Structure 1
Protein backbone atom coordinates (compact mmCIF):
# COMPACT_ATOMS: atom_id res chain seq x y z
CA UNK A 1 0.00 0.00 0.00
CA UNK A 2 1.23 3.49 -0.85
CA UNK A 3 1.36 6.31 1.72
CA UNK A 4 -1.21 8.32 -0.22
CA UNK A 5 -3.84 5.59 0.07
CA UNK A 6 -2.94 4.82 3.70
CA UNK A 7 -3.31 8.48 4.70
CA UNK A 8 -6.64 8.63 2.90
CA UNK A 9 -7.86 5.60 4.90
CA UNK A 10 -6.58 6.67 8.34
CA UNK A 11 -9.79 8.39 9.40
CA UNK A 12 -11.89 5.38 8.36
CA UNK A 13 -9.36 3.12 10.11
CA UNK A 14 -9.77 5.02 13.38
CA UNK A 15 -13.57 4.94 13.09
CA UNK A 16 -13.57 1.21 12.23
CA UNK A 17 -15.32 1.83 8.91
CA UNK A 18 -13.03 -0.15 6.60
CA UNK A 19 -13.15 -3.80 5.66
CA UNK A 20 -10.97 -6.29 7.55
CA UNK A 21 -8.77 -6.78 4.47
CA UNK A 22 -8.12 -3.05 4.12
CA UNK A 23 -7.56 -2.80 7.86
CA UNK A 24 -4.81 -5.44 7.65
CA UNK A 25 -3.24 -3.61 4.68
CA UNK A 26 -3.23 -0.31 6.59
CA UNK A 27 -1.77 -1.99 9.69
CA UNK A 28 0.97 -3.64 7.60
CA UNK A 29 1.81 -0.29 6.05
CA UNK A 30 1.87 1.42 9.45
CA UNK A 31 4.48 -1.07 10.65
CA UNK A 32 6.87 0.03 7.91
CA UNK A 33 6.08 3.74 7.52
CA UNK A 34 6.94 6.24 10.30
CA UNK A 35 5.23 9.16 8.49
CA UNK A 36 1.90 7.37 8.35
CA UNK A 37 2.27 6.26 11.99
CA UNK A 38 2.74 9.91 13.00
CA UNK A 39 -0.33 10.84 10.93
CA UNK A 40 -2.34 8.12 12.69
CA UNK A 41 -1.18 9.26 16.14
CA UNK A 42 -2.03 12.87 15.33
CA UNK A 43 -5.52 11.90 14.08
CA UNK A 44 -6.14 9.76 17.17
CA UNK A 45 -5.19 12.70 19.41
CA UNK A 46 -7.56 14.99 17.50
CA UNK A 47 -10.41 12.50 17.78
CA UNK A 48 -9.71 12.06 21.50
CA UNK A 49 -9.72 15.84 22.08
CA UNK A 50 -12.97 16.24 20.14
CA UNK A 51 -14.64 13.54 22.23
CA UNK A 52 -13.47 15.28 25.42
CA UNK A 53 -15.20 18.54 24.49
CA UNK A 54 -18.29 19.15 26.61
CA UNK A 55 -21.65 18.93 24.90
CA UNK A 56 -23.40 22.24 24.71
CA UNK A 57 -27.14 22.18 25.19
CA UNK A 58 -28.98 24.98 23.42
CA UNK A 59 -31.43 26.83 25.60
CA UNK A 60 -35.08 25.93 25.17
CA UNK A 61 -36.25 29.05 23.36
CA UNK A 62 -33.52 28.91 20.70
CA UNK A 63 -35.48 26.95 18.11
CA UNK A 64 -38.53 29.19 18.64
CA UNK A 65 -36.43 32.32 18.14
CA UNK A 66 -34.83 30.91 15.00
CA UNK A 67 -38.22 29.98 13.57
CA UNK A 68 -39.72 33.41 14.32
CA UNK A 69 -36.73 35.18 12.78
CA UNK A 70 -36.91 32.98 9.68
CA UNK A 71 -40.63 33.57 9.11
CA UNK A 72 -40.30 37.32 9.66
CA UNK A 73 -37.40 37.62 7.23
CA UNK A 74 -39.20 35.47 4.66
CA UNK A 75 -42.31 37.62 4.92
CA UNK A 76 -40.27 40.84 4.71
CA UNK A 77 -38.43 39.57 1.65
CA UNK A 78 -41.63 38.78 -0.22
CA UNK A 79 -43.42 41.98 0.91
CA UNK A 80 -40.76 44.19 -0.62
CA UNK A 81 -41.89 44.84 -4.22
CA UNK A 82 -38.36 45.56 -5.42
CA UNK A 83 -37.14 42.18 -4.16
CA UNK A 84 -40.10 40.45 -5.79
CA UNK A 85 -39.22 42.22 -9.02
CA UNK A 86 -35.59 41.09 -8.75
CA UNK A 87 -36.68 37.53 -8.05
CA UNK A 88 -38.97 37.45 -11.08
CA UNK A 89 -36.32 39.14 -13.22
CA UNK A 90 -33.80 36.52 -12.12
CA UNK A 91 -36.14 33.69 -13.15
CA UNK A 92 -36.78 35.33 -16.51
CA UNK A 93 -33.06 35.81 -17.11
CA UNK A 94 -32.31 32.22 -16.11
CA UNK A 95 -34.93 30.68 -18.39
CA UNK A 96 -34.08 33.13 -21.18
CA UNK A 97 -30.46 32.01 -21.00
CA UNK A 98 -31.51 28.36 -21.16
CA UNK A 99 -33.70 29.03 -24.23
CA UNK A 100 -30.91 31.02 -25.89
CA UNK A 101 -28.34 28.27 -25.27
CA UNK A 102 -30.73 25.58 -26.48
CA UNK A 103 -31.45 27.48 -29.70
CA UNK A 104 -27.75 27.99 -30.39
CA UNK A 105 -27.05 24.33 -29.68
CA UNK A 106 -29.73 23.14 -32.08
CA UNK A 107 -28.69 25.66 -34.73
CA UNK A 108 -25.14 24.34 -34.55
CA UNK A 109 -26.48 20.80 -35.00
CA UNK A 110 -28.46 21.65 -38.14
CA UNK A 111 -27.04 21.03 -41.56
CA UNK A 112 -25.92 24.02 -43.56
CA UNK A 113 -25.75 24.07 -47.31
CA UNK A 114 -23.04 21.48 -47.10
CA UNK A 115 -23.81 18.93 -49.79
CA UNK A 116 -21.85 16.15 -48.19
CA UNK A 117 -23.72 16.59 -44.89
CA UNK A 118 -27.06 16.68 -46.68
CA UNK A 119 -26.44 13.49 -48.60
CA UNK A 120 -24.76 11.77 -45.69
CA UNK A 121 -27.74 12.64 -43.49
CA UNK A 122 -30.24 11.40 -46.06
CA UNK A 123 -28.29 8.23 -46.79
CA UNK A 124 -27.75 9.06 -50.44
CA UNK A 125 -23.98 9.22 -50.37
CA UNK A 126 -22.48 6.58 -52.59
CA UNK A 127 -19.22 5.93 -54.34
CA UNK A 128 -20.77 6.27 -57.78
CA UNK A 129 -22.42 9.50 -58.86
CA UNK A 130 -24.99 9.19 -61.60
CA UNK A 131 -26.79 11.94 -63.48
CA UNK A 132 -29.80 12.09 -61.08
CA UNK A 133 -27.53 12.37 -58.04
CA UNK A 134 -25.60 15.18 -59.68
CA UNK A 135 -28.84 17.02 -60.49
CA UNK A 136 -30.00 16.58 -56.86
CA UNK A 137 -26.68 18.01 -55.64
CA UNK A 138 -26.92 21.08 -57.85
CA UNK A 139 -30.60 21.69 -57.04
CA UNK A 140 -29.98 21.39 -53.32
CA UNK A 141 -26.95 23.68 -53.46
CA UNK A 142 -28.90 26.48 -55.14
CA UNK A 143 -32.28 25.95 -53.51
CA UNK A 144 -31.33 27.87 -50.36
CA UNK A 145 -32.49 25.14 -47.97
Structure 2
Protein backbone atom coordinates (compact mmCIF):
# COMPACT_ATOMS: atom_id res chain seq x y z
CA UNK A 1 0.00 0.00 0.00
CA UNK A 2 1.11 3.55 -0.57
CA UNK A 3 0.73 6.54 1.76
CA UNK A 4 -2.34 7.90 0.00
CA UNK A 5 -4.26 4.62 0.38
CA UNK A 6 -3.25 4.32 4.03
CA UNK A 7 -4.38 7.87 4.81
CA UNK A 8 -7.77 7.17 3.24
CA UNK A 9 -8.32 4.08 5.40
CA UNK A 10 -6.50 5.18 8.55
CA UNK A 11 -9.60 6.36 10.40
CA UNK A 12 -11.42 3.09 9.69
CA UNK A 13 -8.28 1.19 10.78
CA UNK A 14 -8.14 3.01 14.12
CA UNK A 15 -11.82 2.26 14.74
CA UNK A 16 -11.22 -1.40 13.77
CA UNK A 17 -13.68 -1.24 10.86
CA UNK A 18 -11.37 -2.80 8.24
CA UNK A 19 -10.92 -6.45 7.35
CA UNK A 20 -8.04 -8.36 8.94
CA UNK A 21 -6.30 -8.59 5.55
CA UNK A 22 -6.52 -4.81 5.10
CA UNK A 23 -5.35 -4.25 8.69
CA UNK A 24 -2.30 -6.42 7.97
CA UNK A 25 -1.46 -4.36 4.88
CA UNK A 26 -1.81 -1.10 6.82
CA UNK A 27 0.37 -2.39 9.68
CA UNK A 28 3.01 -3.51 7.19
CA UNK A 29 3.02 -0.03 5.65
CA UNK A 30 3.15 1.66 9.06
CA UNK A 31 6.19 -0.46 9.99
CA UNK A 32 8.09 0.95 7.03
CA UNK A 33 6.73 4.53 6.78
CA UNK A 34 7.68 7.05 9.47
CA UNK A 35 5.25 9.77 8.30
CA UNK A 36 2.20 7.50 8.34
CA UNK A 37 3.24 6.06 11.75
CA UNK A 38 3.47 9.59 13.21
CA UNK A 39 0.09 10.47 11.71
CA UNK A 40 -1.40 7.32 13.26
CA UNK A 41 0.00 8.20 16.69
CA UNK A 42 -1.36 11.76 16.42
CA UNK A 43 -4.80 10.46 15.47
CA UNK A 44 -4.75 8.01 18.40
CA UNK A 45 -3.84 10.86 20.78
CA UNK A 46 -6.59 13.04 19.31
CA UNK A 47 -9.18 10.26 19.72
CA UNK A 48 -8.06 9.73 23.32
CA UNK A 49 -8.32 13.45 24.18
CA UNK A 50 -11.72 13.75 22.48
CA UNK A 51 -13.07 10.74 24.34
CA UNK A 52 -12.02 12.31 27.66
CA UNK A 53 -14.18 15.39 27.02
CA UNK A 54 -17.54 15.36 28.79
CA UNK A 55 -20.74 15.22 26.75
CA UNK A 56 -22.63 18.48 26.81
CA UNK A 57 -26.39 18.38 27.16
CA UNK A 58 -28.24 21.12 25.27
CA UNK A 59 -30.33 23.45 27.37
CA UNK A 60 -34.12 22.94 27.40
CA UNK A 61 -34.58 26.36 25.75
CA UNK A 62 -32.33 25.35 22.85
CA UNK A 63 -34.15 22.02 22.47
CA UNK A 64 -37.51 23.81 22.42
CA UNK A 65 -36.28 26.18 19.69
CA UNK A 66 -34.91 23.30 17.63
CA UNK A 67 -38.13 21.29 17.92
CA UNK A 68 -40.17 24.36 16.91
CA UNK A 69 -38.33 24.86 13.59
CA UNK A 70 -40.31 22.28 11.53
CA UNK A 71 -43.59 23.76 12.74
CA UNK A 72 -42.48 27.26 11.73
CA UNK A 73 -41.51 26.08 8.28
CA UNK A 74 -44.93 24.42 7.82
CA UNK A 75 -46.67 27.63 8.90
CA UNK A 76 -44.71 29.64 6.35
CA UNK A 77 -45.57 27.19 3.57
CA UNK A 78 -49.19 26.32 4.33
CA UNK A 79 -52.00 28.87 3.83
CA UNK A 80 -53.96 30.34 6.70
CA UNK A 81 -56.91 28.36 8.04
CA UNK A 82 -59.95 28.60 5.80
CA UNK A 83 -58.04 29.92 2.80
CA UNK A 84 -57.65 27.66 -0.20
CA UNK A 85 -54.08 27.05 -1.23
CA UNK A 86 -53.19 29.22 -4.20
CA UNK A 87 -50.91 27.64 -6.74
CA UNK A 88 -49.51 30.26 -9.05
CA UNK A 89 -48.75 29.31 -12.63
CA UNK A 90 -45.31 30.92 -12.49
CA UNK A 91 -44.30 29.19 -9.25
CA UNK A 92 -41.72 26.43 -9.17
CA UNK A 93 -44.14 24.20 -7.24
CA UNK A 94 -46.64 24.33 -10.12
CA UNK A 95 -44.19 23.44 -12.89
CA UNK A 96 -42.31 20.76 -10.96
CA UNK A 97 -45.42 18.95 -9.79
CA UNK A 98 -45.63 15.31 -10.91
CA UNK A 99 -48.57 16.10 -13.19
CA UNK A 100 -46.43 18.36 -15.39
CA UNK A 101 -43.21 16.32 -15.43
CA UNK A 102 -44.18 14.33 -18.56
CA UNK A 103 -45.07 17.61 -20.26
CA UNK A 104 -41.71 19.11 -19.33
CA UNK A 105 -39.87 16.02 -20.58
CA UNK A 106 -41.73 16.05 -23.89
CA UNK A 107 -41.13 19.79 -24.36
CA UNK A 108 -37.45 19.26 -23.66
CA UNK A 109 -37.24 16.45 -26.22
CA UNK A 110 -39.09 18.57 -28.79
CA UNK A 111 -36.72 21.50 -28.22
CA UNK A 112 -33.66 19.27 -28.54
CA UNK A 113 -34.91 17.68 -31.77
CA UNK A 114 -35.93 21.07 -33.19
CA UNK A 115 -32.54 22.56 -32.38
CA UNK A 116 -30.81 19.61 -34.03
CA UNK A 117 -32.97 19.94 -37.14
CA UNK A 118 -32.82 23.71 -37.52
CA UNK A 119 -29.35 24.62 -36.25
CA UNK A 120 -27.03 21.85 -37.46
CA UNK A 121 -25.71 21.08 -40.92
CA UNK A 122 -27.15 17.54 -41.02
CA UNK A 123 -30.45 18.99 -39.85
CA UNK A 124 -30.49 21.50 -42.71
CA UNK A 125 -29.85 18.77 -45.26
CA UNK A 126 -32.62 16.75 -43.62
CA UNK A 127 -34.91 19.78 -43.99
CA UNK A 128 -34.07 20.01 -47.69
CA UNK A 129 -34.70 16.32 -48.31
CA UNK A 130 -37.91 16.47 -46.28
CA UNK A 131 -39.07 19.49 -48.28
CA UNK A 132 -38.24 17.72 -51.52
CA UNK A 133 -40.17 14.62 -50.46
CA UNK A 134 -43.12 16.76 -49.39
CA UNK A 135 -43.23 18.51 -52.76
CA UNK A 136 -42.94 15.20 -54.61
CA UNK A 137 -45.81 13.74 -52.60
CA UNK A 138 -47.90 16.87 -53.15
CA UNK A 139 -47.37 16.82 -56.92
CA UNK A 140 -48.11 13.10 -57.03
CA UNK A 141 -51.33 13.66 -55.10
CA UNK A 142 -52.28 16.41 -57.55
CA UNK A 143 -51.67 14.05 -60.48
CA UNK A 144 -53.82 11.36 -58.85
CA UNK A 145 -56.65 13.86 -58.31
CA UNK A 146 -56.43 15.04 -61.91
CA UNK A 147 -56.51 11.43 -63.15
CA UNK A 148 -59.50 10.73 -60.91
CA UNK A 149 -61.27 13.75 -62.39
CA UNK A 150 -60.47 12.58 -65.91
CA UNK A 151 -61.75 9.08 -65.13
CA UNK A 152 -65.03 10.39 -63.70
CA UNK A 153 -65.48 12.63 -66.73
CA UNK A 154 -64.87 9.68 -69.07
CA UNK A 155 -67.28 7.50 -67.10
CA UNK A 156 -69.94 10.20 -67.31
CA UNK A 157 -69.30 10.40 -71.07
CA UNK A 158 -69.63 6.63 -71.44
CA UNK A 159 -72.80 6.70 -69.39
CA UNK A 160 -74.32 9.39 -71.55
CA UNK A 161 -73.37 7.62 -74.78
CA UNK A 162 -74.71 4.33 -73.43
CA UNK A 163 -78.00 5.96 -72.48
CA UNK A 164 -78.16 7.65 -75.86
CA UNK A 165 -77.56 4.35 -77.66
CA UNK A 166 -80.35 2.65 -75.72
CA UNK A 167 -82.69 5.45 -76.35
CA UNK A 168 -83.13 7.94 -73.62
CA UNK A 169 -86.96 7.91 -73.88
CA UNK A 170 -87.12 4.26 -72.70
CA UNK A 171 -85.18 4.82 -69.43
CA UNK A 172 -85.97 7.45 -66.81
CA UNK A 173 -83.30 10.15 -66.40
CA UNK A 174 -81.25 9.85 -63.27
CA UNK A 175 -78.99 12.35 -61.55
CA UNK A 176 -75.84 13.28 -63.42
CA UNK A 177 -73.63 12.36 -60.46
Same fold (TM over 0.5): yes
The normalised TM-score by structure 1 is 0.60
Deviation at 1:93, TM superposition (A): 5.4
Q: Does 1:142 align with 2:144?
A: no
Structure 1 residues 42, 100: CA separation in 2 closer, same or farther (over 3 Å shift)?
Answer: farther
Structure 1 residues 114, 79: CA separation in 2 closer, same or farther (over 3 Å shift)?
Answer: same
- Corresponding residue of 1:133: none
- Name the CA distance, whole Å, in 2 between partners of 1:87 and 1:79: 17
Aligned partner of 2:112 among 105, 110, 121: 105
- Corresponding residue of 1:42: 42
Deviation at 1:8, TM superposition (A): 1.0
CA deviations over 1:73-102 (Å, ceiling 9, x no partner): 42134348xxx7789612345568655433
SS in 1 for 2:17: coil
- Name the CA distance, whole Å, in 2 between partners of 1:144 and 1:73: 58
The structure, 1 or 2, with the larger RCO (C-alpha pairs under 8 Å, 6+ apart) is 1
SS in 2 for 1:54: coil
CA deviations over 1:9-48 (Å, ceiling 9, x no partner): 1101100011111101100100110111111112112211
SS in 2 for 1:16: coil
- Name the CA distance, whole Å, in 2 between partners of 1:67 and 1:79: 21
- Corresponding residue of 1:130: none
- Name the CA distance, whole Å, in 1 between partners of 2:115 and 2:72: 49
Equivalenced residues, count: 121
- Corresponding residue of 1:55: 55
Q: Does 1:9 align with 2:16?
A: no
- Name the CA distance, whole Å, in 1 between partners of 2:60 and 2:89: 35
Unaligned 5+ runs, structure 2 = 81-85, 136-177
The normalised TM-score by structure 2 is 0.51
Deviation at 1:65, TM superposition (A): 3.7
CA deviations over 1:87-133 (Å, ceiling 9, x no partner): 96123455686554332234467795757xxxxxxxxxxxxxxxxxx
Deviates more, 1:67-76 or 1:50-59: 67-76
Structure 1 residues 49, 107: CA separation in 2 closer, same or farther (over 3 Å shift)?
Answer: farther
- Corresponding residue of 1:91: 93
Q: Would you say the 8 A contact 2:3–2:36 is kept in 1?
A: yes
